[in-house]
């Protein structure tokens, strides 16, 4: 059952309680409706991918109450601060390097070392984030491959029964997604056009790069855009997938009963829960990387994960990590 909530303080408080309990709540922003989870709860974030039916993990935008709260989780640059002054709250998302202390679940950023942050202008979004007291990770509240919803009815049509609640926030004023600007490299790079125009960005900060002209000598920075080519976090150690047995020099990424003989094991889910495994995947790869070499191990073997539901996204991610080496 999906609760249809209203804009009363009581309903917003209830929605925040659901988020705190690890449930999903769809809410209005000025761009499109978001499918929100507590960004610091990896289990809740895994539910987002489950509800959307995404076959792979896309990094999500984290929604904050203020620029100050957002910049406490990433390394801001003077350009980021200038843009925040001009366009926040509003339909602009900035991609910046995560701070080492950033408490946002790795799954929310799909394992990347950058984080997409935004301060939305919609009063419902603002009240919900304030009531939760933590950032809300939220993609657009549509099923994978369908268009972004701009009314509560669109959301219900696609996600009814798959999420705990939706706050009827009225129609979205902007109606297209936020502009995504990557500020983690030397020159600002437009990853997705959206609610703030390229011209407005250029008037504010000068040069903004976009796309690549043929023959351009410089290394493409589009690798940052996960929709195109992905440079997600890959472990430093070689990764072998679908392992059915384990070698003496391998650490094990286990799913269910671990393979016999492993000296170092990270358990994704003892009970073979795909949902739990998704929420622990990036932590697990990092942990094995950090601990394996010290034990003289030279590689990571990942056990087979079933190819359905969230298993599709887990396997997609593992295959990329294994191939990207
Ligand atoms: O207007 C919006 O942006 C809406 C509302 C809910 O805020 N959200 C939204 O989220 O459109 P989503 O997940 O549908 O799109 C997020 C975009 C994706 O293209 C994703 O690849 C990109 O932002 N993105 C997120 N984190 C990134 C990162 N660390 N590096 C590069 N791109 C990132
Ligand atoms: Mg989307």
Q: pLDDT tens digit string along 227-251? A: 333 345 567 899 999 999 999 999 9
Reported for 204-212, long-range contacts at CB under 8 A and 24+ positions apart, including other chains, are 204/82, 204/83, 204/86, 204/87, 205/79, 205/82, 205/83, 208/181
- Residue 166: both structure tokens together: 């939706």
What pLDDT is recorded for position 55?
83
Residue among 32, 70, 129, 180 whose CB has most ligand 1 atoms within 8 A, to mutate? 180
Query: Which is the closest atom of ligand 1 to the Cα of 174?
Result: 1
Using CA positions, which residue lies closest to atom 15 of ligand 1? 139
What pLDDT is recorded for position 186?
92
Show the CA angle centred on residue 205, arms to residues 201 and 208, nearest 5°. 65
Query: Which is the closest atom of ligand 1 to the Cα of 184?
Result: 30
What pLDDT is recorded for position 320?
84
Query: Which is the closest atom of ligand 1 to the Cα of 33?
Result: 6
CA 48 – ligand 1 centroid, Å? 13
Task: Give the number of the ligand closest to the Cα of residue 142.
Answer: 2
What pLDDT is recorded for position 293?
87
Q: Which residues of 126-146 are buried (b: 16+ CB within 10 A; e: fewer)?
A: bbbbebbebbbbbbbbbbeee
- Euclidean distance between CA atoms 265 and 315, whole angstroms: 18
**pLDDT tens per residue across span 166-176:** 999 999 999 89
78 by DSSP, 3-state: which?
A: helix
Task: Give the number of the ligand closest to the Cα of residue 56.
Answer: 1
Total residues belonging to the chain: 325
What pLDDT is recorded for position 325?
55
Neighbours of ion ligand 2 (CB under 5 A): 140
* pTM of the predicted structure, to 2 decimals: 0.89
Query: Which is the closest atom of ligand 1 to the Cα of 176?
Result: 1
Spell out, as residue ranges, where the chain has pLDDT lower than 50.
213-231
Provide the terminal-to-terminal Cα distance of the chain, rounded to the nearest Å.
44
């Amino acid at each position: 059952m999906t609760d249809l909530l209203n804009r009363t303080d009581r309903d917003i408080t209830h929605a925040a309680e659901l988020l705190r309990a690890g449930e999903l709540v769809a809410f209005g922003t000025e761009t499109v409706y978001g499918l929100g989870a507590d960004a610091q709860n990896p289990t809740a974030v895994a539910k987002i991918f489950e509800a959307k039916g995404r076959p792979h993990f896309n990094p999500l935008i984290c929604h904050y109450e203020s620029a100050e709260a957002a910049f406490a989780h990433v390394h801001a640059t003077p350009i980021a601060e200038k843009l925040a002054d001009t366009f926040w709250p509003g339909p602009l998302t900035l991609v910046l390097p995560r701070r080492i202390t950033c408490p946002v679940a790795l799954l929310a950023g799909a394992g990347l070392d950058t984080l997409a942050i935004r301060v939305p202008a919609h009063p419902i979004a603002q009240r919900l984030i304030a009531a939760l007291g933590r950032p809300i990770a939220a993609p657009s509240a549509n099923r994978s491959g369908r268009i972004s919803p701009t009314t509560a009815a669109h959301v219900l049509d696609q996600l009814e029964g798959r999420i705990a609640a939706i706050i009827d926030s009225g129609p979205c004023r902007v109606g297209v997604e936020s502009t995504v600007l990557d500020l983690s490299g030397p020159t600002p790079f437009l990853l997705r056009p959206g609610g703030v125009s390229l011209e407005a960005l250029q008037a504010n900060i000068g040069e903004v790069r976009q796309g690549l002209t043929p023959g351009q000598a410089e290394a493409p920075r589009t690798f940052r855009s996960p929709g195109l080519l992905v440079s997600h976090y890959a472990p430093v150690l070689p990764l072998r997938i679908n392992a059915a047995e384990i070698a003496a020099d391998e650490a094990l990424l286990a799913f269910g009963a671990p393979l016999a003989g492993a000296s170092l094991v990270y358990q994704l889910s003892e009970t073979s829960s795909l949902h739990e495994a998704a929420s622990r995947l990036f932590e697990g790869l990092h942990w094995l990387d950090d601990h394996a070499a010290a034990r003289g191990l030279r590689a990571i073997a990942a056990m087979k994960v079933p190819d359905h539901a969230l298993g599709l996204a887990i396997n997609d991610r593992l295959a990329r990590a294994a191939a990207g080496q």
